[in-house]
Structure 1
Amino acid sequence: MILTEDRLQDLLDKSLTELPPGTDWAVTLEGSIAEGFGNPSSDIDFLLVGRCDDDLPTMPSLLFVDGRRVEIRTRTVRQLTDQFQAVEEGAERPGRLSEDLLNRCQRVLHSHPLRGHALIEEVKATLPVERFRRITADWWAHRARQSLRHATALLCLGEREEAVDWTRAALVQSVKSWAAGLGETYLEPKWLSMQLDRAGRADVRDRYWELEAAALGPADAGAAQEHLTACLDFAEDLGLTGVPRQPERLTVERRAGVTTWQTGERVHVIRGRQDVFALGDDAGAVWRSLVLGRPLPRVLADTAGSGVTDPGPLLAAFLRYGLVRLAWKGGGTVTPALPLAAPPGPVTPPPSTAQPLLSVRGAAVGGPRAIDLMPVPADRFAAAAMALVWSNVVVENAVEDLTGALRRGQWRVAELTARRAVHAALRGLASAHGVNPLPADSDLVRRTDLLPATTRSIGVRAGELLRLGVHSAKEGDALLTELRLFIVLVRGAMGADSFPFSFDSADTWRATLQLGHDWLRIGAHLGAELPIEEARDLLTGNGAQPHRSP
């Protein structure tokens, strides 16, 4: 670890003085420092474990002790046992296993006890680490298969750049599955470079980085297919089964709750009795040509008969918006997902600005290939607002992590952390324009086509930043400078210029909590989905941290 035992005990003593007295805690260090990673900006993550009967809050308290940021989480033995049991029960269906739950269990199992060692070890024994390795490996493997199948479909539809990004996501997920089987179960990918070094297989590590570098090259159809094939070969060599070699096994299926209504020549598609999409002439022709339940290549051939040029991207948009679904024969719906990103599911674009909105012939649309959403309901507005606040918190956290990584010369960590900041900024930009649920992070840079034309330059700049590498201190400093300028640009476009520097001090963190709480009240009133589970504790506590003394 980068901190000595004496230093950790000193930080713990000082942290405990800020908590209400009277509880006898066992304490363990979790997170990146306990894993053997970390840098000067890394949190000190203390987990306090007690035998009390009442449920303890999920949300951590954030303290500032001797120039270090300290997170205090509390759990009862029963709460931890329930978490481990839930992971074991969900192991048979890894696609439904919560990333947050898996991450919480992983942090405990790989934690470093500081006090009450016997109680900490008793809790850990609830789920043997060897069993957890297998569960985590299966969880990553499931996600890798989903991403590879999705990438295969996107290539068929002519969405080459997006296909390359999902291939890249599958590459990470495949190697994380392999590494988890060797004990490297830490979920967040930003420390992947160190995990691969520690795994002791230079051949796997070097092949991974070669394929990762190849993903940044030109994305013409031939290169994209060649890269996908190489990643499929690599995944199979790592032991991944069920990888897609036959696009014919992908089928386009009906989505529950989606109905079609035509007024004159205008096609309206209603999703879930709530969202109405108005289709332009070309989009409507492609929609009417769909024969669902058939293999994707055949469906694409059918749409070619609609007379519409390049129908693939329109069919991809129908999939993206959840108007139809993609399935794998014998494997259910294809639902790709990325770690530490927006949850998988249908994308909702911003509302149409066409005026007048309606005529006797149907809704107005922006053009022949338009798939325009009518104005969003109030609960989605609130959810987008909460996502906007949370994305800015993530940006602040990522910039701080990047600064720490550069100080330590952790170039790979710096690259991944910078990408996280760019993706979080783009999530905020999309949320500010009413996009909710959000696209996957890898798709955000292209989904600026959902936003006003004035934001397109931001998407271009984001694409440039996502391709920047770091191999030296000079390159790292340049990346940090460009990233800060990018964040200023994005925040200006989404009206977040005055967002507090969340992690600078107790005062700025308190201001961030208050800002989040103001939006949470509206969201809770409307029954909107909260951005993270901890938000419930913030709401219950009227904007205050759960573990601070009055």
Structure 2
Amino acid sequence: MILTEDQLQDLLDKSLAAPPVGVEWAVTLEGSIAEGFGNPSSDIDFLLVARCAEEPPTMPSLLFVDGRRVEIRTRSVRQLADQFRAVEQAAARPGRLSEDLLNRCQRLLHSHPLRGHALVEEVKALLPVERFRRITADWWAHRARQSLRQAMALLCLGESDEAVDWARAGLLQTVKSWAAGLGETYLEPKWLPLQLDRTGRTDVRDRYWELEALTPASGDADAAREHLDACLAFAADLGLTGAPRRPERLTVERVAGVTTWQAGARVHVIRGRRDVFALGDDAGAVWRSLVLGRPLPRVLATAAATGVADPGPLLAAFLRYGLVRLAWKGGGTVTPSLPLAAPPGPVTPPPATAQPLLSVHGAAVRGPRAVDLVPLPADRFAAAAMALVWSNVVVENAVEDLTGALRRGQWRVAALTARRAVHAALRGLFSAHGVHPLPLDPDLVRRLDLLPAATRPIGARAGELLRRAVDPAAHGDSLLAELRAFIAQTRAAAGADSFPLSFDSADTWRATLQLGYDWLRIGTHLDAELPIEEARDLLAGHGTQPRPALPRHQAP
């Protein structure tokens, strides 16, 4: 060790001002210094072991003694026994074994007793060192397989640079597994050079550093493939099983809680009933081509048959975001992970910044290959989209009513109906930008400061129309033309410029119902708030009449 016994005892005396009273206790040195590694900057890690009934605090005490940082952790004998028992129970499924738990046990088993040697040795005997070596070697081997399988998948998908990184990770994990079998169970990889030196196997050490130093040029798929093949061969030489160079054993599988919804031509994928991903045209075509359960190379070939160029990176994005998963035949889901890093799991990208967020035909995207996270929870996304569609239905209804009122000279009816059209158009604008719940109608014009500055002219025009009087002196045709121009301006800003003239004919009503039905399916699935309850009955039946029309001669 880099510190003598006397130095360690002196540091302990200065750190442990008040040892436990009335209980049997011991102190042991853990960590890199106890392992024979460390340097002048390394922490001093003391573990105080107490035979006591109560549970000691889990938070360490942090001290600075003689220029060194000292950490003192306290654990009861029962807590330590529970840790060892948990490791044994999880040993059969190394993928479920917590890195933190394994690390705590490793540090204790390789610790250096300073006080109460008999108690320390009693606790260590709860898990024989040889057994722990096998558990740790299996734990590293499991991770090595996952990383190397991930590298195979990424190389297949054309992500050669990322494949090289995972091949290098699998290489390190393979060597850590091999070294653990020889007693080098310390988890943190930074001391691997010293661990390899201590094994005495210069052939393994030199071959590892030779492969680790290889850096294929960025984008060089052939060099990446050669690097992966070399890593796989070396891993097999070290006894790693379950990672042959057979990408056809990788299959693309469904992820629980991921559902697909289409509105118009836009494909939306909802993850866990919370996150909404909007796919561009190319990404949507690749997503729609997926037949889950098939081997990855076959899935890639089917995606390429859609005509989308280079579909591999899109499939890689679906995997990265947890929209699909990879499995190894006979080996379960591929879940690569790294020690002392972020836990494995799906990535959540930054929310997309497109404005407006929604149109009646789906969420906005940045381009044809986009896999964009909508910056709204799924239920608010669906509620806002349904409100966008319904507000435009109300606009069409109001325009129809206004036209009839003007023809009959019903000026006050026309004034109220025109205001209803303006408010409904504004509700659609707010909904397109993801505002939900909406401001009340009288407040809509004043709340346009919630929206981008480009909408300010719409607010000014809306104010003029809301203040406009309707009487014989104000020509009805002029009012109708101005209102239609305002509606067109608002719809263009809200992505609803192609909204059908709902009440113009049976065909336009059918098109309106189709738009509403697409969004209602999503909203019903998510229990999202409907704009009005009648919309559920109207749209759930896809516009089907509850009773057939009467024969012409019986019509009232």
**TM-score class normalised by the smaller sequence:** 0.5 to 0.7
Aligned pairs (5 A) from 1:120-519 = 120-215=120-215, 218-375=218-375
CA distance in 1, matches of 2:208, 2:176: 11
SS in 2 for 1:27: strand
Equivalent position of 2:7 in the other structure: 7
The aligned counterpart of 1:412 is none
Compare 20-29 and 246-255 and name the one that shifted more: 20-29
Residue 52 of structure 1, CA deviation:
1.1
Give the C-alpha shift of residue 37 in structure 1: 0.1
- What's the CA shift for 1:199? 0.6
**Structure-1 separation of matches of 2:219 and 2:6:** 52
Secondary structure in 2 matching 1:25: strand
Give me the whole-angstrom Cα distance separating, in 2, the residues matched to 1:84 and 1:372.
Answer: 44
Provide the rounded CA distance (Å) in 1 between the counterparts of 2:316 and 2:291. 15
Separation of aligned partners in 2, 1:298 and 1:218 = 26
- Relative to structure 1, the CA distance from residue 81 to residue 72 in structure 2 (aligned partners, 3 Å threshold; closer, same or farther) is same
Question: Contact 1:90 / 1:96 at 8 angstroms: preserved in 2?
Answer: yes
Partner secondary structure for residue 317 of structure 1 = helix
TM-fit CA distance, 1:376: 6.0
- SS of aligned partner of 2:130: helix
Q: In the aligned structure 1, how far is the partner of 2:244 from the partner of 2:317?
A: 22
> What per-residue deviation string (whole Å, max 9, x for no partner) do you get for residues 200-219 of structure 1?
00000000000000136555
Give, in whole Å, the separation in 2 of the partners of 1:352 and 1:154: 25
How far does the alpha carbon of each residue in 1:222-255 deviate from its partner, in whole angstroms, 9 at most, with x for none?
A: 1100010000010000000111321110000111
Deviation (angstroms), 1:325? 0.5
Local SS of the residue matching 2:154: helix
Alpha-carbon distance between aligned partners in 1 of 2:366 and 2:23, rounded to the nearest angstrom: 62
Aligned length: 378
Q: Deviations over 1:418-441 (max 9, x none)?
A: xxxxxxxxxxxxxxxxxxxxxxxx
> 3-state SS of the aligned residue for 1:252?
strand
Contact conserved, 1:148 with 1:244, CA < 8 A, in 2?
A: no
What is the rounded CA distance, in whole Å, between the counterparts of 2:20 and 2:28 in structure 1?
18
Q: CA deviation at 1:20?
A: 7.7
Q: Show the counterpart of 2:110.
A: 110
What's the CA shift for 1:339?
0.2
Structure 1 Cα separation of the partners of residues 8 and 84 of structure 2: 27
CA distance in 1, matches of 2:110, 2:376: 44
Distance across 2 between alignment mates of 1:22 and 1:263:
71
Q: Deviation of residue 60 (structure 1)?
A: 1.3
* Higher RCO (CA < 8 A, seq sep 6+): 1
* In structure 1, distance between residues paired with 2:215 and 2:192: 17
5+ residue gaps, structure 2:
379-556
Aligned amino acid, residue 157 of structure 1: L
Return the alpha-carbon distance in structure 2 between the equivalents of residues 23 and 122 of structure 1. 16
Change in Cα spacing, 1:377 to 1:16, as seen in structure 2 (3 Å) is: farther
Mapped partners of 2:210, 2:130: distance in 1:
30
| Partner Cα separation in structure 2 for residue 101 and residue 211 of structure 1 | 31
SS of 2:47's equivalent?
strand
Residue 356 of structure 1: SS of its match in structure 2? Answer: coil
AA aligned to 2:86 is A
User: Counterpart of 2:194 in structure 1: which amino acid?
Assistant: M
TM-superposed CA distance for 1:111, in Å, is 0.1
Whole-angstrom distance in 2 between the partners of 1:377 and 1:187: 39
The 8 Å contact of residues 171 and 235 in structure 1, kept in 2 or not, is answered as yes
Unaligned runs of 5+ in 1: 379-550
Q: Which amino acid aligns with 1:204?
A: V
Q: Equivalent residue for 2:85?
A: 85
Q: Which amino acid in structure 1 is aligned with residue 316 of structure 2?
A: A
Deviations 1:392-429 (A, max 9, x none): xxxxxxxxxxxxxxxxxxxxxxxxxxxxxxxxxxxxxx
CA distance in structure 1 between the partners assigned to 2:30 and 2:375 by the alignment = 45
TM-score (norm 2): 0.67
Deviation, structure 1 residue 53: 1.4
Aligned counterparts of 1:122 and 1:13: Cα–Cα separation in 2: 23
Aligned partners of 2:283 and 2:369 also within 8 Å: yes
Instruction: Give, as a single letter, the amino acid of the residue that structure 1 aligns with 2:78.
Output: R
Would you say the 8 A contact 2:285–2:306 is kept in 1? yes
**3-state secondary structure, aligned to 2:211:** helix
Alpha-carbon contact 2:276-2:377 (below 8 Å) kept: no
Give SS of 1:276's match: strand
Report the residue type matching 1:232 in the other structure.
Answer: L
Matched residues in 2 for 1:18 and 1:301: separation?
Answer: 69
Whether the 8 Å contact between 1:152 and 1:244 is mirrored in structure 2 is: no
Preserved CA contact (<8 Å) 1:168 1:215? no
The farther-off stretch of 211-220 and 344-353 is: 211-220
- 1:244-272: CA deviation from partner (whole Å, max 9, x where unpaired): 32111000011111000000011000001
Cα shift at 1:285: 0.8
**Structure 2 residue 63 is the aligned partner of structure 1 residue 55:** no
Local SS of the residue matching 1:326 = strand
SS at match of 1:366: coil
Return the letter of the residue paired with 2:60: P
1:54 shift after superposition: 1.6
1:115–1:269 distance in 2 versus 1, CA, 3 Å: same
- Structure 2 residue 72 is matched with structure 1 residue 72: yes
- TM-score normalized by the length of structure 1: 0.67
In 2, are the aligned partners of 1:138 and 1:177 still within 8 Å (CA)?
yes
Q: How far apart are residue 368 of structure 1 and its match?
A: 1.1
Residues 20 and 28 from structure 1, CA distance in 2 versus in 1: closer, same or farther, beyond 3 angstroms? closer
1:57 deviates by 2.5
Partner of 1:43: 43
Q: Give the percent of matched residue pairs that are identical in Structure 1 and Structure 2.
A: 84
- C-alpha deviations, 1:328-357, integer Å up to 9, x for none? 001110000000000011111011111111
